Chains A and B, each alone.
Chain A
Amino acid sequence: GAVVSQHPSWVICKSGTSVKIECRSLDFQATTMFWYRQFPKQSLMLMATSNEGSKATYEQGVEKDKFLINHASLTLSTLTVTSAHPEDSSFYICSAVTGAYNSPLHFGNGTRLTVT
């Protein structure tokens, strides 16, 4: 159980275009989803916390107008990288938790974004 599906697994886009990444909890309802970014050989850095039906909470230094997050249902959150630039190239990973306090984080497979 507790499967998180993330699509696409990889994407290449041109500078200036937008890319949407989907994160779905397949067999549980995720009241909260988290979006992380990971540069090569670095740790996972939290970008934002996404709560179903409310606005996302962004971490310091993350531009909310550039990284649009929508959590319209208990099983789906999307991250849209708008006006992508080469420096946005990274590994984006979503994770989800159930509503239970201190429940483990379940990660999606990640999306490798390359902006040319």
Chain B
Amino acid sequence: GENVEQHPSTLSVQEGDSAVIKCTYSDSASNYFPWYKQELGKRPQLIIDIRSNVGEKKDQRIAVTLNKTAKHFSLHITETQPEDSAVYFCAARYTGGGNKLTFGTGTQLKVEL
């Protein structure tokens, strides 16, 4: 199976600064890596994803990078805003597991004014 580790567990940044969250995975056969944002009491929402044949993907202020050799991927949020405050989860899907995702432990991001 897959094991996903996520760091840091909490992250506090000033508004306008960048935030970086890192994840590592264990199964080299994993090929899909989504990131979810979850606000308190709500469902996780997909914010960006990357497949193993791509090294980097960007969508406005959000970017994800993937290093297959090192088996880690990172979420980068630039020009952070208070509404970015939430819990962020990385996840990985390995080819032997059908479509199921294994989630990281989550990062509580707080953007301070």
Contacts and interface: CB of A to CB of B under 8 A. Distances in A.
Interface string B8-19: 000000000000
A105 B42 contact: no
A108 B43 contact: yes
A112 B45 CA distance: 17
A107 B44 contact: yes
How many chain B residues sit at the interface, stated as a range, is: 20 to 34
A26 B31 CA distance: 28
Given A102-B31, A102-B32, A44 B99 contact: no
Interface in A84-116: 91, 93, 97, 101-105, 107-110, 112
B103 A43 contact: yes
Interface residues of A, number: 21
Contacts of B44: 44, 93, 107
Given A32-B98, A44-B89, A104 B103 contact: no
A25 B49 CA distance: 21
Top 4 A-B pairs ranked by shortest CB distance? A107-B43, A97-B99, A44-B103, A43-B103
Interface of A: 32, 34, 42-46, 49, 91, 93, 97, 101-105, 107-110, 112
